[in-house]
């Protein structure tokens, strides 16, 4: 708890959630309770149980009859600035490397205002679709852009945030993929990464903000920067994140340039362990899965992006059976092009079935990946489940919508099988950020107008 959560008299702030039709706890026993709720003090869950078992009053009472309540979803991979370049005609029909090459020249014109506004927009979409904790991977810093601009947006909108200080240092001049104009000097990258860790990283339980060290990918930074980033991250006990084994060209680049598979390269650089998670891993081979399982290295699975760029089907079932921590990510909005978490959960289930059969992933597996799975990948033990001692991060879905009609024999599965839904309520750290389907921290109309104006400005600058 923090001092700011205490009310003016020093008394604890309490919240009671009652009469939820179904409460999905995602606790160790995976309990699902009927006519149930939560009792919360100062942003922490104190009790979980049936309505009859809980205290009867609190400072704030949410009667959620007709709703499903579950832990807030956790997004483990995103590039929020890309919400400015969704569905761009030049990048609609390309695979990863071609797609990146068309977009780098646009992104070179990003401004601080664009980072701030696009982060707010991406977070609004995430929040309304059930996400309460998100990471973001910002790896371009042209024209005075800084990680601070996305951090300020997260603080304003009230989302729990893992801000990744990304980077690119190997431009075309040095055999990399990005244009030289969007790469930074490695000394500057490390210095600024250290600055943002010292300024913002909170390693405490219930932290609303953590910083992550995240060179963009093996094809845009040097071996030295990967190694030095790992040293820096471990000195400060912060997590490491990058893209790995996204498609066959990515694997071919690794074999040609480094003489090893992406997983071998990660192992060689010290980029394995419980403090590391890699995005995609679509082309992770059996030896790679074994290495990740042995070391506890996490994976951010991004099904929509993998389909959009025709990267392939990540072997999520095999990874999970082997013991690899797997979370879910919507990925950047230029390759999805949505930040809808429930839609991503649904696609995770559908895509595994296309690849590996009808029992490859159940609805509850998919929801577990998006909650507990994401928490494990981000190195958190205080979110992803509803149990005493956990942060009060939860969402509710109104089961009386047309989308769920006829599906209430199993409302938990309905959330995944039926059309993607938006939340009625979202509470983060005990604070109600979405109420009756409306974001309470940021006014959406003016935000979207400003976002669209900046998106136009960005594409015009690049033209
Ligand atoms: Zn990505």
Residue 253 has pLDDT above 70, yes or no: yes
Residue 258 has pLDDT above 90, yes or no: yes
Going by pLDDT thresholds of 50, 70 and 90, the confidence category of residue 272 is very high
What does the pLDDT read at residue 90? 87
- Give percent above pLDDT 90 in the chain: 93
Taking the C-alpha atoms of residue 79 and residue 334, their distance in angstroms, rounded to an integer, is 8
Going by pLDDT thresholds of 50, 70 and 90, the confidence category of residue 5 is very low
- Cα(404) to centroid(ligand 1), Å: 32
Going by pLDDT thresholds of 50, 70 and 90, the confidence category of residue 414 is very high
User: If one looks up domain 73-378 in CATH, what number appears?
Assistant: 3.20.20.140
Tens-place pLDDT, residues 62-76:
999 999 999 999 999
Residue listed under structure tokens 């309490």: 14
pLDDT, greater one: 3 or 327: 327
446 prior amide bond cis, ω within 30: no
What does the pLDDT read at residue 9? 64
Taking the C-alpha atoms of residue 433 and residue 430, their distance in angstroms, rounded to an integer, is 9
- Cα(79) to centroid(ligand 1), Å: 6
- Cα(332) to centroid(ligand 1), Å: 6
What does the pLDDT read at residue 104? 94
Integer angstrom CA distances of residue 336 from 144, 174, 176, 454: 27, 30, 24, 20
Q: How many CB atoms lie within 10 A of CB 371?
A: 29
Q: Rg (Cα) of the chain, in Å, rounded?
A: 21
- Cα(246) to centroid(ligand 1), Å: 9
Residue 111: CA count within 13 A, CB half-sphere: 13
What does the pLDDT read at residue 6? 53
Tens-place pLDDT, residues 282-315:
999 999 999 999 999 999 999 999 999 999 999 9
Residue range 107-123: mean pLDDT, rounded: 97
What does the pLDDT read at residue 219? 87
**What does the DSSP assignment read for 260-312?**
S-HHHHHHHTT--STTEEEEE-TT--HHHHHHHHHHT-EEEE-HHHHHHTT--
- Cα(176) to centroid(ligand 1), Å: 17
- Non-local (6+) Cβ contacts of 121 within 8 A are 80, 83, 447, 448, 451
- Cα(354) to centroid(ligand 1), Å: 23
Residue range 371-397: mean pLDDT, rounded: 98
- Cα(279) to centroid(ligand 1), Å: 6
What does the pLDDT read at residue 445? 98
Taking the C-alpha atoms of residue 221 and residue 223, their distance in angstroms, rounded to an integer, is 7
Structure tokens at 163: 């801000």
Tens-place pLDDT, residues 167-202:
999 999 998 889 998 999 999 999 999 999 999 999
- Cα(309) to centroid(ligand 1), Å: 11
- Which residues have a beta carbon within 5 Å of ligand 1, which is an ion? 279, 331
- Cα(331) to centroid(ligand 1), Å: 5
Closest CA to 162 of 138, 142, 186: 138
Contact by Cβ (8 Å): 326, 299:
yes
Beta strands 14-24 and 73-75, pairing class:
unpaired
What are the extents of the domains in the chain? Answer: 14-71+385-438, 73-378
CATH topology of domain 14-71+385-438: Urease, subunit C; domain 1 (2.30.40)
Going by pLDDT thresholds of 50, 70 and 90, the confidence category of residue 450 is very high
């Amino acid at each position: 708890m923090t001092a700011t959560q205490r009310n003016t008299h020093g008394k604890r702030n309490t919240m009671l959630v009652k009469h939820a039709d179904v409460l999905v706890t995602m606790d160790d026993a995976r309990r699902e309770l009927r006519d149930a709720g939560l009792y919360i003090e100062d942003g922490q869950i104190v009790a979980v149980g049936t309505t009859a078992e809980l205290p009867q009053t609190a400072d704030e009472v949410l009667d959620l009859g007709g709703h499903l309540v579950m832990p807030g979803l956790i997004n483990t991979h995103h590039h929020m600035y890309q919400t400015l370049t969704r569905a761009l005609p030049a990048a609609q029909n390309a695979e990863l490397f071609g797609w990146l090459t068309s977009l780098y020249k646009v992104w070179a014109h990003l401004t601080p205002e664009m980072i701030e506004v696009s982060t707010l927009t991406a977070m609004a979409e995430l929040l309304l679709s059930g996400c309460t904790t998100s990471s973001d991977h910002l790896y371009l810093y042209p024209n005075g852009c800084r990680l601070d601009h996305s951090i300020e947006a997260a603080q304003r909108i009230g989302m729990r945030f893992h801000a990744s200080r990304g980077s690119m240092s190997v431009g075309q001049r040095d055999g990399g993929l990005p244009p030289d104009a969007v790469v930074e000097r490695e000394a500057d990258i490390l210095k600024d990464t250290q600055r943002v860790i010292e300024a913002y990283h909170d390693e405490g339980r219930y932290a609303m903000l953590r910083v992550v060290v995240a060179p963009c990918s093996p094809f845009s930074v040097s071996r030295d920067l990967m190694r030095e980033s790992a040293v820096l991250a471990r000195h400060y006990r912060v997590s490491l994140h990058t893209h790995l084994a996204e498609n066959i060209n990515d694997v071919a680049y690794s074999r040609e340039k480094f003489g090893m598979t992406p997983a071998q390269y990660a192992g060689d650089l010290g980029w394995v362990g419980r403090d590391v998670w890699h995005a995609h891993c679509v082309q992770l081979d059996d030896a790679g899965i074994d290495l990740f399982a042995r070391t506890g290295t996490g994976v951010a699975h991004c099904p929509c992006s993998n389909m959009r760029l025709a990267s392939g089907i990540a072997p999520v079932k095999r990874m999970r059976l082997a013991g690899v921590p797997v979370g879910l990510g919507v990925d950047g909005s230029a390759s999805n092009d949505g930040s809808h978490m429930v839609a991503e959960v649904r696609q995770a289930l559908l895509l595994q079935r296309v690849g590996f059969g009808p029992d490859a992933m159940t609805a509850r597996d998919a929801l577990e990946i998006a909650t507990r799975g994401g928490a494990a990948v981000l190195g958190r033990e205080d979110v992803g489940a509803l149990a005493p001692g956990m942060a009060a991060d939860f969402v509710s879905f109104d089961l009386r919508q047309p989308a769920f009609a006829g599906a209430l024999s199993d409302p938990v599965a309905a959330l995944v099988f039926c059309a993607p839904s938006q939340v009625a309520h979202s509470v983060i750290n005990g604070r109600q950020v979405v109420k009756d389907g409306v974001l309470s921290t940021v006014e959406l109309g003016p935000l979207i107008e400003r976002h669209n104006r900046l998106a136009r400005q960005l594409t015009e600058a690049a033209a």
